[in-house]
């Protein structure tokens, strides 16, 4: 797959899917976004992309969309709140696993043989070694991670039986923004947007969960990747050569920055970028939170040449520009001239 292609992006009205769609369009590819808008936003779909408001739980309509003809699929559509997944696991298995099976069925019927799946490093659970490599034993600790692992297994068998060529990309925290595409979650659980809400006056302070971890500053260390860097990895995986043998191939790649950033580091960079003091309150650890979660990206670096180019300051700066823009738009809507 070299040069412009026609690609279906499921969940393309969401944060990461919309950025990947924008990058595909910039490279001259034809993009159709499929999203049920349960958590996505119609105005996040980049200009120039087609749009189908369809659920993966609607197999007949899904089959009609795939029958339009595509060179590949990038699959982002999923429920992704860890806490909610533990309260309503049936919702996550139905939406994530059954929806993905419906997508694979529709792809097979339409003879679409290339897939890039947005998996997660949550499939590994609490790591026994850091940074986490792809050969680490998977042991998810929540229903969200378990559904993603089930989909990864399903994709592997599909590749062996039906010559599907697929890549699953596993990563932790994504941050930053690309122009009009950025994080807009109904329930915000990610650190950087929460800290920036304090700078915008929407929260009084940010809470630090645990200050006694065996890390340089006592706070938890997590992996962060700029959403633009993440999008590049998806495009490289989509364009990777197909195998020449009798079966397809399922590649699994971790995406990591190599060292991670502590909670205090993130907050301090947010203070520097925003010029806001951003009060922080130290509270106790949350049950099950490991001290360090960082993924190794050696495999995708050696195989596809990917490596992150943007650091934490870039992520916060772009996220802050996006957050202020959204806040200004909300203010204008609330107080029209």
Containing H/E element for 282? strand 280-283
Containing H/E element for 170? strand 165-170
Task: State residue 195 phi and psi, 5-degree precision.
Answer: -65, -40
Of 124, 144, 171, 224, which is the active-site residue?
Answer: 144
CA angle 251, 255, 260 (to 5 degrees): 155
Tell me how far CA of residue 121 lies from CA of 24, 85, 190, 215, in angstroms. Answer: 24, 16, 15, 20
| Strand-strand pairing, 261-262 and 221-222 | antiparallel
Residue among 54, 53, 12 at smallest CA distance from 29:
12
Give the C-alpha separation, 200 to 329, whole Å: 13
38 contacts 92 by C-beta, under 8 angstroms: no
Residue among 134, 111, 113, 114 at smallest CA distance from 124:
134
Residue 253 is a catalytic residue: no
224 contacts 257 by C-beta, under 8 angstroms: yes
21 contacts 45 by C-beta, under 8 angstroms: yes
Give the C-alpha separation, 76 to 10, whole Å: 5
Task: Name the region of 147 (left: φ>0; alpha: ψ -120 to 50; beta: rest).
Answer: alpha
- Output the DSSP codes for 177-245: -BTTB----SS---HHHHHHHHHTTS-S-EEEE-S-SSSTTSS-EE-EEEHHHHHHHHHHHHHSPPP-S
Q: Which residues are catalytic, by number?
A: 144
């Amino acid at each position: 797959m070299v040069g412009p292609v026609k690609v279906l992006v499921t969940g393309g009205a969401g944060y990461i899917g919309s950025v990947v769609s924008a990058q595909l369009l910039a490279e001259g590819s034809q993009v159709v976004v499929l999203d049920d808008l349960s958590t996505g936003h119609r105005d996040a779909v980049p200009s120039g992309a087609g749009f189908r408001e369809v659920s993966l739980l609607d197999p007949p309509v899904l089959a009609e969309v795939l029958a339009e003809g595509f060179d590949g699929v990038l699959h982002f559509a999923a429920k992704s709140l860890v806490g909610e997944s533990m309260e309503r696991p049936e919702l996550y298995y139905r939406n994530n696993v059954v929806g993905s099976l419906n997508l694979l069925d529709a792809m097979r019927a339409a003879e679409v043989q290339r897939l890039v799946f947005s998996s997660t490093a949550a499939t590994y659970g609490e790591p026994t070694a850091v940074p986490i490599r792809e050969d680490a034993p998977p042991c998810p600790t929540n229903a969200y991670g378990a559904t993603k692992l089930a989909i990864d297994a399903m994709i592997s068998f599909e590749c062996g039986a039906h010559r599907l060529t697929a890549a699953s990309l596993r990563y932790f925290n994504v941050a930053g923004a690309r122009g009009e595409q950025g994080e807009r979650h109904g329930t915000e659980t990610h650190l950087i947007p929460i800290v920036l809400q304090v700078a915008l006056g929407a929260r009084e302070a940010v809470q630090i969960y645990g200050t006694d971890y065996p890390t340089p500053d006592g706070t938890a260390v997590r992996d962060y990747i700029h959403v633009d860097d993440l999008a590049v990895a998806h495009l490289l995986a989509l364009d990777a050569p197909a195998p020449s043998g009798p079966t397809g191939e399922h590649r699994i790649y971790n995406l990591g920055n190599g060292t991670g950033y502590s909670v205090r580091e993130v907050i301090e960079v947010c203070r520097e970028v925003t010029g806001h003091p951003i009060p922080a309150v130290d509270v106790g650890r949350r049950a099950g939170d490991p001290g360090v979660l960082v993924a190794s990206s050696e495999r995708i670096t050696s195989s596809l040449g990917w490596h992150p180019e943007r650091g934490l300051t870039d992520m916060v700066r772009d996220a802050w520009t996006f957050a202020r823009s959204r806040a200004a738009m909300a203010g204008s809507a609330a107080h029209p001239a």
